[in-house]
A = this chain, B = another copy of it.
Amino acid sequence: MFRRILIANRGEIAVRVIRACRELGIESIAVYSDADAGALHTSLADRAVRIGPAAAAESYLSSDAILAAAREMGAEAVHPGYGFLSEHHVFAAACADAGIVFIGPPANVIERMGSKISARQLAGQAGVPVVPGDTPADQSDEAIAAAAQRVGLPVIIKPSEGGGGIGMKTVRDASELAASIAQARREAVASFGDGTLYVERLVERPRHVEFQIIADAHGHVVHVFERECSIQRRHQKVVEETPSTAVTPALRQRMGAAAVAVAKAAGYQNAGTVEFLLEGTGDAARFYFLEMNTRLQVEHPVTEQVASVDLVRAQIQVASGEPLPWTQDDLAQRGHAIEVRIYAEDPARDHLPQAGRLLLYRQPSMPGIRVDSGVTEGGEIPVHYDPMIAKLIAHGDTREAARHRALAALRDYPILGIRTNVPFLIELLEHPRFISGDLDTGFLDTEGAALRARLSDDPPPDALAVAAIDSAPVGRATDQPDPWATLRGWRG
């Protein structure tokens, strides 16, 4: 087992990995940009190294800075988290060259699966169905438009590199093709440095259902069941759950086998996720391989809660050469878990990202609730990075139990100083279609406006009364019994 791991990430996922290291008795090394000098992950690790200025390109995305830190600190392994360098095959290769274990699959597997074209080829060869699509060798705008017509409208145009929905454009009408191709190309170049585009037929009302897989260096591959991630806004997942309301035992077995087949065909190692589009529900549903994410997933906790496994610890164990801690037969789903992502954004203003100081931040603590977060009260949400500040995961013996727990927890999750999507998530979890499990990836396109409309009410009298109390002149405060009064001297 490693003695020292560098965590090449920030926020909640860096905190998650630091905690896993601590439980394993491994020294954790955080890296931080200037914007994160006071961040939770920076102070929580056993050691912390500054790697550059706030701009991600010069800090968390800088292979050189991170490798230099790893070498300087004597790290034996690097955990990349998700995002940033987690799917950069060049970084993975550079780690290997430096004699540092990259906690993830081999560089060539990342490279192959990172290209949607070669990933789809591989899935097809492994006998796993894929959505009809094309990446023209001629990448001119005209050739892309022609490919879209060939595949058949509606289509999605997306960067061949990258993920997370960046640069993905849906085209239903040929008149939109030129503008969408140009915009997708621009965002692809800006985000991934590669403007290669891929065209895919749009599956109408699909669900996004993905399978967690993990493989060791000894040829063992297991899947840890599905996650339903259909609730997305602009291809960013908002709510994830497991089991999926659409997946029956027979379908689960087929999809799980397909996910394992893809992983085996790829020579996969470590944790990864095979994403499918699902058309219909139940035994008769059809699924299509979408892509493979060659890293830990944001939504891994729902799998951990329902399968009673620790995926981050398993990642570290497998990377150190240990065999998988479980066989497929050891694994079972128990109960239901729902994750909601807490974003610093203003739902009432088109989900505009928010930055600023957390004047007050209190995480709910109650049975069946897990909060993975990277922030603390008084801390600053910087403008430079992803606005997701925490994930709340509810677990219960039934989907309704988990949903009610998530609602109770969100109603006890005060975040003040910046707007978040907590009120939006509450409305979402109360939506009749969510309650019935009638989901597809267009859910928020269809229902989002109605959900946001429910947020636009004025402060009720009770809220005005609360606001009035302490904004009264300070002298009045002595009228009220305040347990903090005696503490003021040292809090100043």
Q: Which residues of A contact B (CB under 8 A)?
A: 16, 19, 22-25, 38, 301, 304, 308-310, 313, 325, 332, 334-335, 357, 359, 363, 365-368, 370-373, 378-380, 395-397, 401, 404-405, 408, 470-471, 474, 477, 481, 483-484, 486-488, 490-492
Check A16/B372 contact, CB under 8 A, given A357-B486, A380-B483, A401-B310. no
B492–A367 touching, CB < 8 Å: no
Contacts of A38 in B (CB 8 A): 481, 483
| 13 sample A-B contacts, Cβ–Cβ < 8 Å, listed by A number | A19-B367, A19-B408, A22-B404, A23-B401, A24-B404, A308-B334, A310-B367, A310-B397, A325-B397, A359-B487, A363-B365, A488-B492, A492-B492
Given A363-B365, A366-B19, A401 and B371 contact (CB-CB distance below 8 Å): no
Residue numbers in B under 8 Å from A371 (CB-CB): 365
Task: Give chain B nearest CB distance to A403 CB in angstroms.
Answer: 9
Closest CB of chain B to A264's CB: distance in Å? 24
Determine how many copies of this chain the complex contains. Answer: 2
The reply to whether B359 and A367 form a contact with Cβ atoms under 8 Å apart is no
User: For A23, what are the chain B residues with a Cβ–Cβ distance below 8 Å?
Assistant: 401, 404-405, 408
List of B residues within 8 angstroms of A334 by Cβ: 308, 332, 334
Chain B neighbourhood of A22, CB < 8 A: 404, 408
In the complex, chain B residues whose CB is within 8 Å of the CB of A491: 484, 488, 491
Point out the residues of chain B lying under 8 angstroms from A484, CB to CB.
378, 491
Residues of B within 8 Å of A396, CB to CB, are 310
Q: B483 near A397 (CB under 8 angstroms)?
A: no
Contact of A367 among B304, B477, B487 (CB under 8 A): B304
Q: A462 CB to closest chain B CB, in angstroms?
A: 14
> Given A404-B24, A492-B474, are A372 and B367 neighbors across the interface (CB < 8 Å)?
yes
For residue A25, which residues in chain B have a CB less than 8 angstroms away from its CB?
404
Q: How many angstroms from the CA of A11 to the CA of B361 in the assembled complex?
A: 23
Contact of A490 among B308, B368, B470, B492 (CB under 8 A): B470
A22 to B401, CA, bound (A): 11
Nearest-neighbour CB distance to chain B for A169, whole angstroms, equals: 37
Q: Are A483 and B19 in contact (CB under 8 A)?
A: no
